[in-house]
Amino acid sequence: MRWLPSRMQTTTIKAACPHDCPDTCAMLVTVEQRGEKRVAIKVAGDPTHPTTRGALCTKVSRYLERTYHPDRVLHPLKRVGPKGHGAFERVTWDEALDAIAARLKSIAAIDPQRIVPYSYAGTMGLVQGESMAARFFHRLGASHLDRTICATAGAEAMNHTLGTRTGPAMEAFADSRLIIFWGTNAIASNLHLWSFAQEAKRKGAKLIAIDPYRSSTAEKCHQHIALLPGTDAAFALGLMHVLVREDWLDHDYIARHTLGFEALAERAEQYPPEKVAAICGITASEVEALAHDYWHLRPAAIRLNYGMQRVHGGGNAVRAVTCLPALAGHWRSPAGGVLLSTSGMFNKDMAALQRPDLLAGRTPRTINMSTIGAALHEADPPIDALIVYNSNPVAVAPQSPQVAAGFAREDLFTVVLEQFLTDTADYADYVLPATTQLEHVDVHGAYGHLYVLANNAAIDPLGEALPNAEIFRRLAAQMGFTEHCFVETDEEIAAQAFHRSGTTANFDWETLKRDGWQRLAVPERYAPFADGGFPTASGNCEFISSSLAALGLEPLPDYVPPYEGPTSNPELARRFPLAMISPPARNFLNSSFVNVESLRATEGEPSLEIHPVDAQPRGIASGDRVRVRNDRGSFELAARITDRARPGCVVALSIWWKKLARDGRNANEVTSQALTDIGRAPTFYDCLVEVERSG
Ligand code: SF4
């Protein structure tokens, strides 16, 4: 930590943004000493960090509003009203921990698998995320949680194709001549990469967005290709068809570094542009033109994000797109290839962080977090206790009516570690007050760049809030867990976060705390697969995947139609003719920040964007209250008539807290718990609905 005295008696603390965002910004927190108290007075981006470059997004620029928000939960709370009503009384930490430990012990005596952790990326920190918490649940023998709600379809698809998750460095996009934003609104969810893309644009690069929605990113690109949701794999196969037909192929790269070209070419043969155009709701010339650009504008970089994988065929879609750079030889340049995530480059020491040895040979069942609604009703043995941290499942999990009904079960014991009384916390038997990033220590990898970061605590915890790791440390003591790992401090855990080998050979916690960030040990001109070297079983980019075949899955990329679409389910499509997607609102991050008034005010009220050709026959005008419905549920919001939503597709920017919406509902009322083809992930954007005026 570097202390910088000034006339104002302020200090600057090196920190890291904790949120679920590929940019993982390096932050500088200015702290003023007021008597005994340290008060954070400013957060800013670290100008020395190579991708943050001094800028935070609007959301995290308001982080002080979050930390000092009057609604912060600052004391342990015990439920006094019906579940879901959010009525609590203040209790002491001792009372809360006594009661929780007693209940968990009695459930564990029957079967510890009846206790289920539920967590995701409320913080991306390795200490306040899954370290002490994982140790606690391993020691207990609780159910495992399959953490699928965001990234596993794409992550597993990348692993099966490239052998890992990496791609061009964020900074290298400045040197690309073609940048394709595929299923991503970078301005909302990858702002710093967008800034490198702007540099490329100024140097003459062409920017193309592929997205059913004309997002703010698509509006600023040279071209926007508006596919129907869930048809991305068909489009990628159509591009391959043209590349093969025109012999726009890097034969040398294909011969030396890929597996299964002939089979892939045969598969692509089945996707001529006219057929692809019909599937995707575009023109054949859009397929032809993009294939032409993809070969001639070199190097070309594709920025994939998770939007395209939230459908039945999401894994195959990522596989298909991921094959493109090897066909055209774009991996040869640092500024070419495809980037979904760099998370495979961080050499985390998960065994040290999470201590799976504490399972002592037990093999608990696994609950998929994406189907928690069903699991709360159907799991056998039943779920008797849920410990929720870093997540807000009542708002964010699919098919919310079933999720909420599960959380309302009187026999379910629910503990929620939270900063605010979220939709989920309202169902808790106990709410335990958790610190924000300014109040605790953490260490971070990233999934959009190539740096590790330290988060030093800028201020003391507010009220009686505690870091997640400390809450689990105290719970472990209350449960009688005596292993040494349960008394390790947060700093001791942080110091073990990465192996001291490979890309993190230089990791040293003391140095990282002082400097704030450190680049992985990768070459300055990072081009991960310029000379092949794919860490797959064959050592090649696997167009045909033996690992998928071993799982009994289709080994070649293919187009898997949405569950809910006119070809796969014509009867459903007749009753519910519109495809709904619910991508991130720019001022929210999943469900974080929805309760920050200034950000919510910028976002306005929950709204549904609908194309004039879909609005007119339904008698819907801009500003009308409309009901979006299907067989799973319904919710209401204000209509916005706009051609930003393509015909046949409606857009509900998300994820609103249900209790902050006028009707107490959000888009997950209608989403389903069906899972992706690869990765067991949710299919939020595979969702047919009907829309009508609500009167
Ligand atoms: S949310 Fe993303 S862009 Fe915003 S400060 Fe955090 S890491 Fe940076």
Burial 368-381, CB ≥16 within 10 A → b, else e: bbbbbbbbbeebee
Cα 27 to chain centroid, rounded: 20
Length of the chain in terms of residues written: 695
Instruction: Please work out, in degrees rounded to the nearest 5, the angle formed at the alpha carbon of residue 691 by the alpha carbons of 689 and 694.
Output: 135
Cα 412 to chain centroid, rounded: 28
Pocket perturbation via mutation, ligand 1, pick of 27, 53, 59 by most ligand atoms within 8 A of CB: 59
Phi-psi region of 257 (alpha: psi -120 to 50; beta: other; left: phi over 0): alpha
CA 125, CA 536: separation in Å to the nearest integer? 28
What is the pLDDT, as a whole number, of residue 589? 87
Tokens describing residue 653: 């920017």
Q: Are strands 178-182 and 300-304 parallel, antiparallel or unpaired?
A: parallel
Q: Is 21 in the pocket of ligand 1 (CB under 6 A)?
A: yes
Pocket perturbation via mutation, ligand 1, pick of 43, 53, 56 by most ligand atoms within 8 A of CB: 56
Query: In angstroms, what is the span from residue 319 Cα to ligand 1's centroid?
Result: 27
Spatial contact of 439 and 461, defined as CB atoms under 8 Å apart: yes
CA 586, CA 294: separation in Å to the nearest integer? 29
Question: CA distances (Å), 240 to each of 324, 526, 587, in order?
Answer: 7, 26, 37
Question: CA distances (Å), 684 to each of 95, 184, 507, 688, in order?
Answer: 40, 15, 38, 10
Pocket perturbation via mutation, ligand 1, pick of 20, 23, 49, 217 by most ligand atoms within 8 A of CB: 23
205: which strand partners? none
What is the DSSP secondary-structure string of 576-625? S-EEEE-PBPTT-BTTBTTT-HHHHHHH-S-EEEE-HHHHGGGT--TT-E
282: which strand partners? none
Supply φ then ψ for residue 224, to 5 degrees.
-130, 125
What is the pLDDT, as a whole number, of residue 5? 46
What is the pLDDT, as a whole number, of residue 3? 45
Spatial contact of 117 and 414, defined as CB atoms under 8 Å apart: no
Spatial contact of 663 and 288, defined as CB atoms under 8 Å apart: no
DSSP 8-state assignment for residue 127? T
Query: In angstroms, what is the span from residue 56 Cα to ligand 1's centroid?
Result: 6
Kindly report whether the peptide bond that precedes residue 254 is cis, defined as omega within 30 degrees of 0: no
What percent of the chain has pLDDT above 90? 95
Question: CA distances (Å), 233 to each of 130, 214, 264, 606, 675, in order?
Answer: 33, 19, 13, 31, 17
What is the pLDDT, as a whole number, of residue 8? 64
Q: Are strands 115-119 and 385-389 parallel, antiparallel or unpaired?
A: parallel
Pocket perturbation via mutation, ligand 1, pick of 24, 29, 57 by most ligand atoms within 8 A of CB: 57
User: What type of residue sits at position 391?
Assistant: S
Mean pLDDT per 10-residue run, the chain (695 residues)?
Answer: 57 97 97 95 98 96 96 98 96 98 98 98 96 98 96 96 97 98 95 98 98 96 97 98 98 98 98 98 98 98 93 98 98 98 97 98 98 98 98 97 98 98 98 98 98 98 98 98 98 98 97 98 96 97 96 97 96 98 90 90 93 98 97 97 96 93 96 97 97 91
CA 312, CA 358: separation in Å to the nearest integer? 36
Of ligand 1's listed atoms, the one at least distance from the Cα of 589 is 1
CA 329, CA 333: separation in Å to the nearest integer? 9
Helix then strand then coil, in percent of the chain rounded to 5, is 35, 20, 45
Structure-token match 């799976």, residue found: 356
Q: Is 126 in the pocket of ligand 1 (CB under 6 A)?
A: no
Query: In angstroms, what is the span from residue 599 Cα to ligand 1's centroid?
Result: 14
Residues ≥6 apart with Cβ < 8 Å to 522: 345, 450, 503
pTM for this one?
A: 0.96
Of ligand 1's listed atoms, the one at least distance from the Cα of 45 is 5
Q: Is 59 in the pocket of ligand 1 (CB under 6 A)?
A: yes
Tokens describing residue 236: 């990628």
Q: Is 390 in the pocket of ligand 1 (CB under 6 A)?
A: no
Of ligand 1's listed atoms, the one at least distance from the Cα of 56 is 5
Query: In angstroms, what is the span from residue 23 Cα to ligand 1's centroid?
Result: 6
Q: Measuring from atom 6 of ligand 1, which residue has the nearest CA?
A: 17
Structure-token match 């939007």, residue found: 307
Q: Is 649 in the pocket of ligand 1 (CB under 6 A)?
A: no
What is the pLDDT, as a whole number, of residue 596? 87
Query: In angstroms, what is the span from residue 205 Cα to ligand 1's centroid?
Result: 25
Q: Measuring from atom 7 of ligand 1, which residue has the nearest CA?
A: 24
Structure-token match 């928000």, residue found: 69
Cβ neighbourhood burial of 285 (10 Å; 0-12, 13-18, 19+): exposed
Of ligand 1's listed atoms, the one at least distance from the Cα of 190 is 3
**Does the CA dihedral 152-157-159-164 come out positive or negative?**
negative
Cα 197 to chain centroid, rounded: 21
Of ligand 1's listed atoms, the one at least distance from the Cα of 18 is 6
Taking alpha carbons only, the member of 78, 692, 668 closest to residue 395 is: 668
CA 434, CA 431: separation in Å to the nearest integer? 9
Greatest distance between any 2 Cα atoms in the chain: 74
Tokens describing residue 327: 């066909």
Q: Is 60 in the pocket of ligand 1 (CB under 6 A)?
A: yes
Q: Is 186 in the pocket of ligand 1 (CB under 6 A)?
A: no
Q: Is 23 in the pocket of ligand 1 (CB under 6 A)?
A: yes
